[in-house]
Structure 1
Amino acid sequence: MAERAGTGRRGLIPDLPRQAWIILGGDALSAVGNGLVLPFFIIYLNRVRGLDIDTAAYALATTALVGFVVGPIGGWMSDRFGARRIVILSLVISALGSISIALVRETWHAFAAAGFFGSGITLFWPSVHALVTTIVAKHQRSAVFSVHYAAINLGIGIGGLLGGFMVDTADASTFELVYYLDALTFVPFIFMLVFFVRNVGGAVRPDTVRSDAEPTGIVAPSYLSVLRDKRFLRVLMLMTLLVTIGYGQLEASFPAFATRPGGISTRALGATFAANTFFIVVAQLLVLRWLDGRRRTRAIVVLALLWAACWGTVLFGGTLGSGMDATVVFAFAAVLFAFGETIVSPTLSPMVQDLATDQTRGRYSAVFSMTWMVGSVIGPAIAGFFLDIDKPGALFTLLIAACIGAGWMAYNLEKHIPDDANLVRLADEEETELTAPEAAGVEVVG
């Protein structure tokens, strides 16, 4: 059979399998639905259904808290029954959960609906990560996670804009409509998985597998074997810290500090978040190309420094009052944070997949997903403590120091991660290393 070596370098758009693009497209569409409802959950329960603001906040927290129970079960199910099946199940549950939120009339309805919806979302993330990993080649993992993150941000951004125009607190039916539409956006994704993504993401035989974490090199696939992987535990600690001082603060301390009395308006805050989303969508693939051939751990060091600069910029913006100059500075801070976000997707998630085996991929993904839940609880709690005692300067100084510490952790992590799990590669080495006859255009017969 005659074969010709690939060209190696490609354009800005990554070369991914057709089934991977189907999954990414389906998730982008469902993200539009998420964007329709994501900013309005507490507003809906409080101002439309009449729940106290604290009760509404507790209901929102329920969507994350169920993850501590459902997440590990979902990881096991993904390994046991196949990632594709669990993705489909998670989408069905999420769709029904969104419908149930639209039907909330009593307090217990809100908690039950939030828990049900949160169960679907919690099942989704580890299983979809395992699924796309099984579809793409190893050198395509950084690319597929980068495109996935950009697609989700694009979908949520579009949905958020549409939702802002559609909802009206004086008309409950407008909120019910966006939740029904959110549920509807899951249907095409389910259809795509059932009919166009087949013969992939199936169950893997639960045999013993190779493990560098065990003295014998052999270990049965289980959560115990996952937690014995010291390399993975180091990644977990780093990611938990990054979520705590990064995403947890973007959702809590950043908006609270920026819009404090004497600060910028909520409309200006919306513009800063729009700048954040726009930068991610535009720059994600450019950053991916820049990272090609670089170590993931060293890219994470850059990420940590960018976030340190972000929090320093936020602290400076707080001295400028409520004018346009303050808005511009806060928007610049949001862009710095977004720059760091574009580094997260091609580094940490594919690193976890490279450390996992096919038999434990769902479990690794589930445990890794829990870092988001832990950090999203600890981060806002820290922010609330410092802002309640009116010490924003101490808070952001602490965040800057913690970012520098995270950079040191990432640099130190490098000596514990195998080279093949610590390198961003966008082309297969066998494709880019042409032999002399191939380079001259001579056909190779094998």
Structure 2
Amino acid sequence: MIGIGNFWRALPTEGRWLLSTVAVQTLGRGLTLPFTIIYLHEVRGFELGLSGGLMSLIAITGLLVTGPGGTLIDRYGARSVLLAGLTAMIAGCTLLAFATHPAVAAVALVLIGVNFGVSWPGFNALVASVVSGDLRQQYFGVNFALVNLGIGVGGIIGGFFVDVRAPETFTAIFLVDAATSLIPMALLLGPLRHVRTHADPAAGGEAATGGYLDILRTPVILWLTLLTFISVFIGYGQMEAGFPAYARQVSEVSTRVVGLSFAVNTAVIVLLQFLVLKRIAGHRRTRVMMVMAAVWAGSWLILGATGLLPDSVVAAIGVLAFMGVFAFGETLLQPTVPAMYNDLATDRNRGRVNAINSAAFQAGAITGPIAAGVLLDLDLQAWYVAVMVVGCAGIALLAAVLERRVSPTANGVPPAGEPAEGASPAESAAPAEPDTAPVEER
């Protein structure tokens, strides 16, 4: 693992462009992320269960467009697909800012979902096309830290700015979210306009169409996809719905505390991500996932305990502590899963492999808000926390199964004779496991 200065110098120009604007791009997302369900429920007056269902439309739409989006990325490249998605994002955020009826909010959230469905495979394919080797895992980790920096700063600003008694404050943050999408559009139309993410048809081989069933028949991809789904269900699927709703309805903390909790999340990620990257370099990614599962289980138990002392300083501290511990788990997960997917992909199916990753993410984001809305609406707070902890155990089990199937290289273990900095001699000298060939088109 290299330092931040050497890491930056090792990046190609396109990689530097991508990283240099990430925090600003995601500032608008941070303004709205913690407060969308609060906006729908407390400002627009929609029932909590309905609000959770509306939030799930983002993921449902994303899931529907991810498959076609991945195929289009492999056929035409990520740039064109990403530009279409960003246009939908701008329209969706603008419409949501003025949505006073559930039907209008539904249309807006569908448009936002279109962008989410294509942005994950698109940007991951873009990154994998300009960054390779060990630098790729580091890039995903640093990018994640910068994304959270933007989201965290946005969360702080939003927590102090929005007021449920003043709907115009929510209108403003959604319009800012729309405006920040213009930044990646400018990059794609300018400095990144020549980046190619798909194979050259002139090189021969099969056309980049279909192939999803063939890819999923590869056991390592299937197990990795199941692990991704559960991770999102008990993790990110709760950040926009379950966590804010629990914090407000059960722990009874203020919107300011909710906003500050996202700032704590960001601070932990920004402060620890490089240290974590150094510690996990050269070690099996599946083992890192197991540690992450244990950390997340602890975080959900902390949040559950805040419901025992609602509307108190202890509850507020517990909500902040939950986000801090959860963030540490994120620094373990985010560099590993995208890197593993892209180490298993080829230039001919990279868009579709990343689309499978995105689909698993969206599926978890669909079921997460729905489950949270139903359980909390029925006052089943203890069951809600229990489901989250059981999900963490499931992640650890899937990581153990995955370890027996993935190749050492895709699992983050360097080739013999090339130990990564931070890897122990025993880890570097571990016997090679049965290899799993990269996923190819069939």
The verdict on a shared fold, with TM-score over 0.5 as the criterion, is yes
Q: Could you tell me how far 1:421 is from its partner in structure 2?
A: 0.5
**What is the match of residue 244 of structure 1?**
233
Query: Matched residues, percent identical?
Result: 35
CA distance in 2, matches of 1:196, 1:309: 43
Query: What is the TM-score normalised by the length of structure 1?
Result: 0.82
Question: Are 1:302 and 2:291 an aligned pair?
Answer: yes
Query: Highest CA radius of gyration, 1 or 2?
Result: 1
Partner of 1:159: 154
Partner of 1:436: none
Cα 1:191–1:42 change in 2 (3 A) is same
Q: Which moved more, 1:340-349 or 1:369-378?
A: 369-378
Q: What amino acid is the match of 2:271?
A: V
Is this contact kept in 2: 1:26–1:192, CA < 8 A? no
CA distance in 1, matches of 2:329, 2:269: 9
2:136 maps to which residue?
141
Cα offsets for 1:310-335 (capped at 9, x unmatched)? 22333444445543334334433322
Describe the superposition over 1:28-58 as per-residue Cα deviations: whole angstroms up to 9, x where unpaired.
2221122223334345556666766665554
Residue in 1 that maps onto 2:79? 84
Q: Taking structure 2 as the reference length, what is the TM-score of the superposition?
A: 0.82
**Does the alignment pair 1:10 with 2:10?**
no
Verify the 8 A CA contact 1:95 1:183 in the aligned structure 2.
yes
1:285-296 equivalences under 5 Å are 285-296=274-285
Shift of 1:190: 1.6
Structure 1's 415 and 220: CA in aligned 2 closer, same or farther, altered over 3 A? farther
Task: Name the CA shift for 1:127/1:110 in 2 (closer, same or farther; >3 Å).
Answer: same
SS at match of 1:416: coil
- Residue in 1 aligned with 2:436? none
Partner of 1:359: 348
Between the aligned partners of 2:100 and 2:259, the Cα distance in structure 1 is 30
Superposition pairs of residues 170-185 of structure 1, within 5 angstroms? 173-185=168-180
Q: Which of 373-382 and 137-146 deviates more? A: 373-382
Q: Does structure 2 retain, via aligned residues, the 8 Å contact 1:25–1:151?
A: no
Per-residue Cα deviation, 1:178-225 (whole angstroms, up to 9, x for no partner): 33332222223222222212432343246547xxxxxxxx99862222
AA paired with 1:289? Answer: K
**Contact 1:66/1:118 (8 A) holds in 2:** yes
Query: Shift of the alpha carbon at 1:376?
Result: 2.1
Matches within 5 A, 1:423-438: 423=412, 429=418
Are the aligned partners of 1:272 and 1:327 in contact in 2 as well (CA < 8 Å)? no
**Aligned residue type for 2:3:** G
The answer to whether residue 219 in structure 2 is matched with residue 230 in structure 1 is: yes
Q: Distance in 1 between matches of 2:19 and 2:257?
A: 31
Map of 1:194 onto structure 2: 189
**Where do residues 63-102 of structure 1 align in structure 2 (5 Å cutoff)?**
63-102=58-97
In the alignment of these two chains, the number of paired residues is 414
Which of 411, 431, 439 aligns to 2:400? It is 411
> Contact 2:152–2:262 (CA<8 Å) still a contact in 1?
no
Cα root mean square deviation, aligned = 3.2
Encode CA deviations 1:207-261: one digit per residue, 9 max, x unaligned. Answer: 547xxxxxxxx99862222222221001011111222223334555544444445
Following the alignment from structure 1 to structure 2, what is the Cα–Cα distance between the partners of residues 168 and 332? 24
Matched-pair contact (CA < 8 Å) for 1:78–1:203: yes
TM-superposition CA deviations, 1:149-200 (whole Å, max 9, x none): 1111111122223334444556555444433332222223222222212432
Q: Distance in 2 between matches of 1:43 and 1:312?
A: 23
Work out whether residues 67 and 118 of structure 1, in 8 Å CA contact, stay in contact via their aligned partners in 2: yes
**1:36-87 residue CA offsets vs partner (Å, 9 max, x unmatched):** 2333434555666676666555443322221122111111111110112222
Deviation larger for 86-95 or 71-80: 86-95
CA distance in 2, matches of 1:168, 1:139: 45
CA shift for structure 1 position 16 = 2.4
Closer/same/farther in 2, CA of residues 382 and 166 from structure 1, 3 Å limit: closer
Which deviates the most, 223-232 or 74-83? 223-232
Contact 1:208 1:219 in 2 (8 A): no
Write the letter of the residue equivalent to 1:140.
L
- Does the CA contact (< 8 Å) of 1:287 and 1:342 recur in 2? yes
CA distance in 1, matches of 2:157, 2:208: 50
**SS class of match (1:66):** helix
* In structure 2, C-alpha distance between the alignment counterparts of 1:64 and 1:47, rounded to whole Å: 22
Amino acid at match of 2:2: R
Q: Which moved more, 1:330-339 or 1:120-129?
A: 330-339
Whether 1:342 aligns to 2:331 is: yes
Cα offset for 1:405? 3.3
Q: Which consecutive residues of structure 1, in runs of 5 or more, have no partner in the other structure? A: 1-8, 210-217, 433-446
Q: Which secondary structure does the structure 2 equivalent of 1:23 belong to?
A: helix
